[in-house]
Structure 1
Amino acid sequence: MHQMKFRSVLSAALFALVLTLAPPAPCQAQTQYALSESFDGGALDIEATTIDGDVIHLAPRATWTIHRYANRFRWVNFRISGVEGRTPEFRVTASGFLGSLRGHRFLYRENPTDPDSEWRFFDRGDVDRDNDLYIFTNDRPFAADEVEVAWSVTYPVSRASSLVEELGRTRFVTPTPSSDDRLIVGKSLGGTDEFGREIPQLPLYGFRLADDEGPAEGAERQTIVVISGVHSSETVGNHALEGFLKFLVSDEPEAARLRSIAEFFVYPLVDPDGRYGGRFRNSHEVPTEDMNRHWHQPETFTNLRKLRQAILTDTGGRADILFDFHGISNQGNDFVFTLEAFAETPFMQALEARTGIGPRPSDGHPGMARIYFARDDRLGLREAYTPEFAPRSGRTSEELQAIGRQYALALLDALIEHQQRPADEAEIEADAAAETISSH
């Protein structure tokens, strides 16, 4: 009995000794993070980005190469894999941002190749002034292996194409004299960016939106020109435009009335190359210039040259109102750039009453769309506006689309009032607008 007990104790002691002397089992190494910006809208300098454990110091692309902004950045959009079950911390040099990151929150979406994946805002995002850093992260681990991260709500070229295809299935959207049956005016230049990434030739869209079968109101239909995406990183403007256009083709009675008193010539993405390549305000073709300063001299810009001619041809050289949807860079409020003479028009009054969005009078630049096309020897516009939308923290596509809808309703309010004005008063108004434009 004692001998058996001794053997049991001895066996246990030897087993414990073996465990003590045996080398520990190797731990399974965590998957390394992998970064990518090779997709529609991607923008990040992968080679200059550093990874230290779970801390990732991002090196955004300096996508605005005009001299005084050569080392600044704005648009950031990338994908990162190996994140499932982990909470990486992202850092970026705060002073490198062209604008302010205070109060801002980046967005992410899990499984980015899934078209139904939803964008969410990071739980945390703060400026560390002492170290000149903007740091953002989540409180909980990611549930998927790959996520896409962006500075603001994205609007890739593929989404613009899907929207045009969707609108084209309605009876209200038709080709213009310049576009084919796919609503394409022409193709962009395409090429290769500074990182060797191929930018394909992309469609330049143009279409007419109106109800030619419904009852017409008034003796003369108003002609409205709508453009967006001339500054490639200003994606918020495209979200607002999407809401504007979806309202126009809807079954709402106000939309039906607006289609009956106005026709719309729409060019939804002026610079698809810049959008695809993740640039800021400059084009892939001429990276040192702001495209929205060259509508009057578009010779070196393939997109501007083609679209300017399309707009002049499609409208027959005359239009009443132009909207050029843009987006600002900081956390401020939305506003509308326009000439002082247009700051108190029925449209601006209606928009302010509906949304609180007011005018910001500005003489602008001769090469801006709202200045160039307003001239009497171009489209002879009665009014011209540049709506500016802010990528405020927590702002979603749905909110921006809702504001776009309000723009359309304010336009309806203004056009109804215009119809009711005496002819001589409307003529005086048109003459005053022409005189204002001629001085610019």
Structure 2
Amino acid sequence: MRHIFLIIIALFLLAGPAISAELVVRSDFEGGSAEVVSISTSERKVTVRPALKKGRGFPCWWYFRLTGLDVGESYQVTTEPARGVYRQDEVLAAQWSLPDQAAISFDDQDWKQTSTGKKSNGSITYQFQAESPQVWLAWGPPFLPSTAEQLLNKAKAELPEAEIFELSETRQQRPVKGIRFGAVDRLEEKPFGIWVQARQHAWEAGGSWVGQGFLQWAISDEPAAVELRSKSVIHFVPIMDVDNVADGAGGKNAFPRDHNRDWDDRPVYPEVRAAQERIKYLDHEQRFDLFIDLHNPGASEKDAYFFGPNLKQLSKTQRQNYDRLLNCAVDHIGKMKKEFLYPSYVKDDEEYNRMSGTWVINHTAEHVVSVTLETGWNRPEGNQLGYQQVGAELGQSIGDYFQRNPREVDADSK
């Protein structure tokens, strides 16, 4: 009789409502960043903010794993801006941390966007339905050093003649890697030189995804890509500020220097010095023509655009090449502004001259074009596919640009 009673109790328990696992937030992995404000398993609600890493730049990047989900149920994640001073007396404005749509993944590989979040009292709440017991959420689709490693190895496998190189080690002894390919077997013919790099600001993950789109186009069998490789040598570095990316820090305005304010005669960051040395060598060998630094802008800037030099200070030769690159980009890149912008927010000429684009202009031949491509992130296209589409379109723009030799001056420009 006692056994029958126990069996009945067991069956009753099995038939009863399932007990949900506790919701748990973790960010102790590559690129992770989150400070938990509150968790309510019963209400299926979580509130987080970016981890404040003093001295490591803008505290706007957040990326975490949430476990304990019930498949099919709806959950809410609220994100608040980081609190406190991140450098000296600076507190970051909220809009940098609160994208209209968060990045979401149920496998930490394939990233989509949530529906548009609801903003209230300086925070934003995203809602989603659980497709598995765990989910990853982030400010934008993460692009990590491990992502870069996979990308470069895949590119090498698809284009065996390409060379993966180590630009340098970081201050924390992490490798900064890139890939070189194109007309490397015809250097005596002085092929065109193209340098594309991303992530001088670690939080700007979209820049690396744009770079991935560019690389995938540039190594492809597209006739324009094949032609470009036949007459140029391309260097691509997917992540410059590897340390801050790996540690889940923002990087911009970091101590002792912003990565993109370190381009002078005594750079703090070894990877900046190494890039300078390679670029100067290529220019000395008359094999350098185009420099593009990939970034993401502010939250309100939805389009893509180039930061360029002060056009009034350019020679006719320089203006000819800058105008032509812009025209090629406008022809190919969706939502591309039809004019160069100038970084008027930079406080003085001394700081301006320490930016990568300006340094390249000041240390290379007159015909060289040096620009920053800013791709809007706070928009429906601010995802893996959207960024990579911009990258492919950038490649097409570059291919068009080199249909003419930028080293030759038009007769009417003399």
Which interval holds the TM-score relative to the shorter structure? 0.7 to 0.9
5+ long unaligned stretches in structure 1? 1-18, 20-24, 176-181, 191-200, 429-440
2:46 counterpart letter in structure 1: I
Q: Is 1:352–2:330 an aligned residue pair?
A: yes
The answer as to whether partners of 2:49 and 2:62 remain within 8 angstroms in 1 is no
CA deviation after TM superposition for structure 1 residue 409, in Å = 1.5
**Alignment correspondent of 1:104:** 100
Task: Give 1:184's aligned residue.
Answer: 166
Q: Does 1:123 align with 2:115?
A: yes
Q: Cα deviation per residue 1:290-346 (whole Å; 9 max; x = unaligned)? A: 110011154432332333334434554652211111112314211110013367521
Greater RCO between the two (CA within 8 Å, min separation 6)? 2
Q: Which amino acid aligns with 1:308?
A: Q
> What RMSD over aligned residues (CA atoms) do the two structures have, in Å?
3.2
Q: Is the 8 A contact 2:170 2:269 kept in 1?
A: no
Aligned residue type for 2:292: F
CA distance in 2, matches of 1:350, 1:272: 31
Distance 1:419 1:383 in 2: 9
Q: How does 1:154-233 map to 2 (within 5 A)?
A: 154-171=142-159, 173-175=161-163, 182-190=164-172, 201-212=173-184, 220-233=190-203
Q: Does 1:404 align with 2:404?
A: no
Structure 2 residue identity aligned to 1:211: A
Q: Distance in 2 between matches of 1:313 and 1:244?
A: 24
Q: Which runs of 4+ in 1 moved over 6 A?
A: none
How many angstroms apart in 2 are the aligned matches of 1:159 and 1:111? Answer: 14
Shift of 1:361: 3.0
Which residue matches 1:247?
A: 217
User: How many Å separate the matches in 1 of 2:308 and 2:54?
Assistant: 25
Q: Which 5+ residue runs of structure 2 have no aligned equivalent?
A: 1-8, 10-14, 83-91, 312-317, 347-351
Pairing 1:61–2:59 present: no
Contact 1:350 1:413 (C-alpha < 8 Å) held by counterparts: yes
Superposition deviation, residue 249 in structure 1: 1.0
8 A Cα contact 1:126 1:136, kept in partner: yes
Question: Who wins on radius of gyration, i.e. which is larger?
Answer: 1
SS of residue in 1 equivalent to 2:29? coil
1:381-400 equivalences in 2 (<5 Å): 382-395=368-381, 396-400=383-387
Residue of structure 2 aligned with 1:328, choices 297, 300, 305: 297
Tell me whether 1:144 sits opposite 2:132 in the alignment.
yes
Question: 1 CA distance for matches of 2:75 and 2:93?
Answer: 21
Q: Which amino acid aligns with 1:157?
A: P
Q: How many Å apart are 1:239 and its aligned residue?
A: 0.9
In 2, Cα distance between equivalents of 1:213 and 1:299: 32
Report the alpha carbon displacement of residue 149 of structure 1 after superposing the two structures with TM.
Answer: 0.3
In structure 2, C-alpha distance between the alignment counterparts of 1:43 and 1:102, rounded to whole Å:
14
Residue in structure 2 matched with residue 179 of structure 1 by the alignment: none
Percent sequence identity over aligned pairs? 16
- Structure 1 pair 288–36 and aligned structure 2 pair: CA distance change class (3 A): farther
CA shift, 1:397, in A, is 1.4
Distance 2:332 2:32 in 1: 36
- Contact 1:105/1:124 (8 A) holds in 2: yes
Match of 1:296 among 258, 264, 280: 264
Query: 1:145 deviation in Å?
Result: 1.3
Q: 1:317 to 1:76 in 2, by over 3 A?
A: farther
Q: Secondary structure at the match of 2:49?
A: coil
* CA–CA distance in structure 2, aligned partners of residues 399 and 242 of structure 1: 11
Tell me, yes or no, if the aligned pair for 1:223 and 1:262 is still in contact at 8 Å: yes
CA deviation vs aligned residue, 1:151-183 (integer Å, no higher than 9, x gap): 1121111111111112223447544xxxxxx52
| Matching residue within 84, 90, 98 for 2:77 | 90
- TM-score, length of structure 1 as denominator length: 0.74
Structure 2 distance, partners of 1:101, 1:299, is 29
Q: Taking structure 1 as reference, are residues 422 and 209 closer, same or farther at Cα in structure 2, changes over 3 Å only?
A: same
Distance 2:292 2:76 in 1: 40
Alignment of 1:243-322 (within 5 A): 243-282=213-252, 287-313=255-281, 316=284, 318=286, 319-322=288-291
**Number of residue pairs aligned between Structure 1 and Structure 2:** 369
Gap change, CA 1:312 and 1:45, over 3 Å in 2: farther
Q: Shift in Å at residue 379 of structure 1?
A: 6.0
Alpha carbons 2:367, 2:407 under 8 Å: kept: no
